[in-house]
Amino acid sequence: MNWRELAARSPAPPSVQRGLGAQCRAALLTGWADLAGAAAAAEVRRRLAAEGLPSPDAQAAAWLPAATYLRLHDGLADTLCDGDRIAFGELWLERVSAAVPAPARWGLRALGARRGVALLIRHWTEAWTTPPPHGNEGDTSLSLHFLGDPLYGDPTWRWMTALTASLASEWLWGRQTRTDLRETDPDGCVILSSM
């Protein structure tokens, strides 16, 4: 499934997302309010606080529950696009692409898929408390296998991971790519990207 097909799925209930034990670094959410705009950011902050979740505006090194990451993106889709997750995905791709400076994109392309995947795997546990993915990469394709944590089965996590992988793959190869997510089991999935 591509990110649009994943976006068509409903998010898990907030109580299920809050029950996930995984955590992520606040650094993964840096700049979210700038991308959202002041009014949307205020509304999303209000919703997260009402749900008893920590603020996504924490210091970059702080650990946040994965529910903050998930509910933030669900809330942004609700607030910015009236719950249309496909429209939010397109908006997210546009705004993140515009926010990342060209030298950073060129640096990723110079790094290449093989080294990019190796770095992602090596540094995964600096950003997430979940098991790192296993990767395979070739000259024109790559795959990341996520296994062993309930977070990997969450519809919002799968959707946002496919969106992120789509953008990163395009930057790695410097051209349009095809990125899909294949479900392997309730707590696992594989991201496949190819030119």
Q: What is the pLDDT of residue 99?
A: 83
Q: Determine which of 86-90, 106-110, 119-123, 154-158 has the lowest per-residue pLDDT on average.
A: 106-110
Phi, psi (5° rounding) for residue 143? -140, 145
Confidence of residue 53 (pLDDT cuts 50, 70, 90): very high
Q: Model-level pTM?
A: 0.92
Q: What is the pLDDT of residue 57?
A: 96
Give the domain extent around 47.
Answer: 3-194
Total count of domains within the chain? 1
pLDDT more than 90, % of the chain: 73
Nearest residue to 2 (alpha-carbon basis) of 115, 70, 93: 93
SS (H, E, C) 128-182: ECCCCCEEEECCCEEEEEEECCHHHHCHHHHHHHHHHHHHHHHHHHCCCCEEEEE
* Cα–Cα dist 20/14, whole Å: 10
Q: Model confidence over 133-159: pLDDT tens digits?
A: 999 887 788 899 999 999 999 999 999
* Cα–Cα dist 173/157, whole Å: 24
Q: Model confidence over 27-52: pLDDT tens digits?
A: 999 999 998 999 999 999 999 999 99
Q: What is the pLDDT of residue 177?
A: 83
The enclosing domain of 37 has a CATH number of: 3.90.1520
